[in-house]
A and B are shown apart, each in its own frame.
Chain A
Amino acid sequence: MTPNGAIVFTLVVVVAAMMSRMSGLVVLYLLCALFAVIEVGPNAAAALRRAAILMVPLAAFMVLVWVGVVGRAPADIAASQPGSRAGALVYVSIVCARLFLIVAIVQIAAMRFASITPLQFIKLLRAPMALKRLGVLTLSLIETLLQAVDRAHTALIASGVITRRLSARNVFNGWVLVQTVWLTAITSVTGRMRDKWPMEHTLGLLDPLLAETRKDPLRTPDKIWISCAAVAVAGIVWGDFYGLP
C-alpha cells in the first residue's frame, strides 16, 4: 500500500463515519478490522491502544455531562421530550463509537507506515510541492515543540520549580512550564532561521528531496481498499435512504 492510498482510504472512512448511523458504524468497524489485520498485523494493537488512550478521557467527560448532568439525549431536548439517562447513554455511546473509529483508523493507517521515516512518507505522497514543504515544516515545528518540552521539563525539575511526580507544585507552576516551552521553542526556531538556514539555503534542499519518483500514485491494494470503503459508503447512504437504524 502507498501513503496516497492510505490517506484516501482513511479520508473515505472518516467521512463515512461522520455520516453513518449505528448499522453503518458496524460495517465500518468490520472494514477497519479487516484493514488492520491485513495491512498492519499485530502492530494494530498498539494503534488501538493509542486510540483508546486518546478517547477514554473524552468519553468519560461526555458521560459525565450528558448522562450525569443533562440526563437526556440532544434529540429529546430538541423535541421537548422528557427523555432519560438511558437515552443519553445511547447517544454518548454512538458519538464515542464514531469518534473512536475515526481516531483508530488514523492511528492504524499511521502504523502501516511506521517502518518508513516521516520524510520518506511525505516524499511518497502525490501532492503539490508546496503542500509537501508545508508538511515537512509542520513536522519540524512539532519536533521542535517536543524537544522544547523535554528541555524545559529538565530545566524546571533541576531547579526544583516542578517535580517529576504529580504535585501541588506542578499545578501552581504549570504555567511556568508552558512559558518556558514557548521561550525555548521560539529561540530554537529563531536561532535556526538566523544562523543555519540563510547560510546554507537549507530549505532549498527539500525540493529535489521531495520530488516524486513513482509514476503511479496508487497500487492495486490501494485501489481495492478504496473501492471497499466506497462500497461501504454507498451501503451506508442506501441504508440511510431506507431508514436502517
Chain B
Amino acid sequence: MGSREFIAGPNFSGRSRAVHARAQRFGVPTYFIGPYAEAALSGLSSTIEDEIAIYRAKDRAADRPQFGAIVTDPHRKPQTLSGGEQVLLALHCFSLSAYRALAIDTALEQLDTANRGDALRYLDANSSFDVVLTDNRARPPNWTCTQLTASGTRFICNWEGVRGKIRPQHAPTIAIQQLSFGYRPGQDVFSNAAVALERGRAHRLFGPNGSGKTTLLKILVGALVPRSAQITLDGVAYEPWRSGNRALALATQNPDQQWCGATLREDLARRRAALANRGEADALADGRVADLARDLGVPSLDQHLYELPLAARKRISWLWPFAGAHPWIMLDEPTVGQDDDTCRELARTLDALCSAGYGVVFVTHDDAFASAVPHRVLHVENRQIS
C-alpha cells in the first residue's frame, strides 16, 4: 500500500521544502507537479502528444488506471493550455508512467471542483504509488498529516494598511457584445458572447478548466484580438487591442507572467511611465507604492522579484491593481498558493475596493474565498458568458 502524506501549514512555513524532503525520502524518482507550468510540465515537448510520449512507460504498474483523457488537439503546445488543464495533463502523464511516487505542490488549487474531486479520488483509490501533497484548499481526510507552523516574521501583510490606502475611483460600466474569439479556426472560445460588468461590484468568472476565463481577461486588457467584439466603457467604444489598455489592472494567475522588470522598482517605474500621458501616474508614486509594498509584506522596492517565494510574489502582484491606477481590477486565481488567513483578508479588501467605486473581476475555483466576497457569478461555458 502506498503512503499518503499531507503537508499542512500557513504560508512560509516551509511546505514546499517539506514536499521536496519527503520526496527524497521516498528513495525513488518522484513525479512532481508544481503550481505553474515550469514545474508541472516536462518542458521537453512541443506538443501534448510528445509530453505524453515522454512519460508513457511500457512497464507501468498493472493496477494503475489511466487518469482522465486528453480531449483537446494532441498537436497543441502544452504551454498554451490553461493552468488547470496543465495540471490535468500532468496527472494524466503520471498515470501512464512508471513512477512509484508523486509529489504535488499546491497544483490542485487550479482545478475546478469536479476535476479536483476526480484527482483526489484517483490519488485515494490507487495503492501502487506514494503521494505527498500540499494544498491550501483540499485536505484529504484519511491521509497522514504533517502540520507545520509559520517560521520567522518575513512577508507579513498589514491588510488594514492596504485597505487604508485605497483611492476612491469611479469605474465605468463595461458592456461587451458580440464577442467572438478562437485561438484556432473552427475552435471558438467565445461565439457572440455578451455580458455587462457593473461598477462597484465584484464579478466571479466561473467555469470548467479551459472554458476561456483567462482568455476573456486577456481580451479586455488588449493582449488578444477578438474576431469580433463591441466593448464600451460607459457607452464609449473601447478597443484595447487598438488603443491600449486604459481601464483594467490585471494580476495574472502566475505572477511571473505580469512583471515588467526584474525589481519591484523597475516594474513600477515602467508602469508609471506608461501611464504618464494619461495623468494617472501619481497612483504609482514611489512613496505610495513603497508603503503599499511594505503592507503587502515586501519591505523594499529594490527587492528582486524572482528571489521572493512564490506566495510572496503572488501577493506583491496585487500591488499594481491595488495602487488604483485603473478603475477595474482583474485577479486571475488570486488564492493559488495563499493560506486561509490571506484569502480572508483578500476577500475583505476586494469588498472594500468595490465600496470605493472600483469594479472587480476575479477568476477562482476556491468557493470558500468566493463566498467571502459579495459578488455576481458569470458562468463561462459553451462559448458564452451568462
Contacts and interface: CB of A to CB of B under 8 A. Distances in A.
Given A154-B223, A158-B222, A139 B46 contact: yes
B46 A200 contact: no
B196 interface: no
Contact of A191 (B20, B39, B42, B250): B39
Size class of the B contact interface (CB-based, 8 Å): 35 or more
A199 B53 contact: no
Given A155-B257, A157-B221, A143 B244 contact: no
A10 interface: no
A189 B38 CA distance: 7
B115 interface: no
A80 interface: no
A161 B270 contact: yes
Contacts of B31: 199-200
B274 A161 contact: yes
Interface stretch (B258-266, B335-343, B361-369, B376-384): B258-266
Interface string B228-269: 000000000000011011101010100011111110000000
Interface string B3-47: 000000000000000001001000001111010111110111111
Size class of the A contact interface (CB-based, 8 Å): 35 or more
Nearest to A173: B270
A156 B40 CA distance: 25
A53 interface: no
B225 interface: yes
Interface string A177-194: 001100110011101100
A119 B50 CA distance: 6
B223 A153 contact: yes
A206 to B, nearest CB: 7
B270 A159 contact: yes
Contacts of B242: 164-165
B257 A195 contact: no
A195 B260 contact: no
A168 to B, nearest CB: 12
Contact of A117 (B29, B49, B250): B49
Contacts of B79: 143, 147
A196 interface: yes
Contact of B43 (A144, A159, A163, A204): A144
Contact of A196 (B43, B47, B218): B43
Contacts of A157: 221-223, 244-245
Given A139-B46, A158-B250, A158-B258, A176 B32 contact: no
Contacts of A95: none
B30 A160 contact: no
B270 A195 contact: no
B259 A200 contact: no
A118 B43 contact: no
A188 B43 contact: yes
A136 B270 contact: no
Contact of B23 (A142, A199, A202, A204): A199
B159 interface: no
A215 interface: no
B318 interface: no
Contacts of A195: 20, 32, 34, 38-39, 105
Given A117-B49, A160-B275, A195-B34, A143 B270 contact: no
B184 interface: no
18 contacts: A119-B46, A140-B44, A140-B45, A143-B43, A157-B244, A158-B218, A164-B222, A164-B225, A165-B242, A179-B261, A180-B260, A183-B306, A187-B256, A191-B34, A191-B38, A192-B39, A195-B32, A196-B40
Given A119-B47, A176-B270, 16 more contacts: A140-B45, A143-B43, A156-B260, A161-B260, A161-B273, A163-B244, A165-B241, A176-B261, A180-B260, A187-B256, A191-B36, A196-B38, A196-B42, A196-B43, A200-B42, A205-B54
